Structure 1
Amino acid sequence: MRIGELAARAGVTVKAVRYYERLGLVEPAREANGYRSFTEDHLRAVAEIRQLSEIGISPLRAAPFIECLDTGHEHSDQCVSSLAVYRDTIVELDRMIAALSSRRQILQERLDQGAGRSFEKETTMTDYTTLPDGLPVPEDDSAADHLPGQRMPQLELPVSDGGTVDLAGLGTGRTVIYLYPLTGQPGVDLPEGWDAIPGARGCSTEACDFRDHFEDLRRAGAQRVFGLSSQDPAYQQEVVERLRLPFAMISDDALALADALRLPTFSAPGHDRLYARLTLIVGDGRIEHVFYPIFPPNAHAQQVLDWLIQAKSEETEL
Structure 2
Amino acid sequence: MRIGELAERAEASIKAVRYYERLGLVQPGRLANGYRDYSGHDLRVIREIRALAGFGINPARAAPFIECLDAGHQHSDECPASLAAYRDSIAELDRTIASLASRRELLAERLQRGASRTFGTEVTTVIDYSKVLPENLPIPEDDGAADHLVGLAMPALTLKATDGSPVNLAGLGAGRTVIYLYPLTGLPGTDLPAGWDAIPGARGCSTEACDFRDHFTVLRDAGVANVYGFSSQDPDYQREVASRLSLPFPMLSDPGFSLAAALKLPTFAAPGHDRLYTRLTLVVKDGGIEHVFYPIFPPNTHAQQVLDWLRE
Give the TM-score category using the shorter length. 0.5 to 0.7
Superposition CA RMSD, Å: 1.3
CA distance in 2, matches of 1:163, 1:219: 24
1:132 corresponds to? 134
Structure 1 stretches of 5 or more lacking a match?
Answer: 1-123, 311-318
Matched, 1:177 2:179: yes
2:302 corresponds to? 300
CA distance in 2, matches of 1:160, 1:259: 22
2:273 corresponds to? 271
Report if the CA contact (8 A) 2:211-2:300 is conserved. yes
- Structure 1 segments (4+ residues) deviating >6 Å: none
Query: In the alignment, which of 198, 212, 215 is matched to residue 214 of structure 2?
Result: 212
Deviations 1:269-296 (A, max 9, x none): 0101100000000001000000000000
1:225 corresponds to? 227
CA distance in 2, matches of 1:307, 1:231: 28
Instruction: Provide the aligned length of Structure 1 versus Structure 2.
Output: 187
Deviations 1:181-214 (A, max 9, x none): 0001110110000000000000000000000000
1:244 corresponds to? 246
Report the AA paired with residue 160 of structure 1.
T
Deviations 1:131-182 (A, max 9, x none): 1000000000000000000000010001111121000000011000000000
Q: TM-score, normalised by structure 1?
A: 0.58
Report the AA paired with residue 187 of structure 2.
Q
1:142 corresponds to? 144
Query: In the alignment, which of 182, 194, 197 is matched to residue 195 of structure 1?
Result: 197
Aligned-pair CA distance for 1:129: 4.1
Aligned-pair CA distance for 1:126: 7.8
CA distance in 1, matches of 2:154, 2:308: 23
Question: What is the 5 A alignment of 1:1-318?
Answer: 127-310=129-312
Q: TM-score, normalised by structure 2?
A: 0.59
SS state at 2:283 partner: strand
Report if the CA contact (8 A) 2:129-2:207 is conserved. no
Aligned-pair CA distance for 1:253: 0.3
CA distance in 2, matches of 1:291, 1:129: 21
CA distance in 1, matches of 2:129, 2:216: 24
SS state at 1:282 partner: strand
Is the alpha carbon distance of 1:127 and 1:219 closer, same or farther for their aligned partners in structure 2, counting shifts above 3 Å? Answer: closer
Structure 2 stretches of 5 or more lacking a match?
Answer: 1-125
Asked which structure has the greater CA Rg, the reply is 2
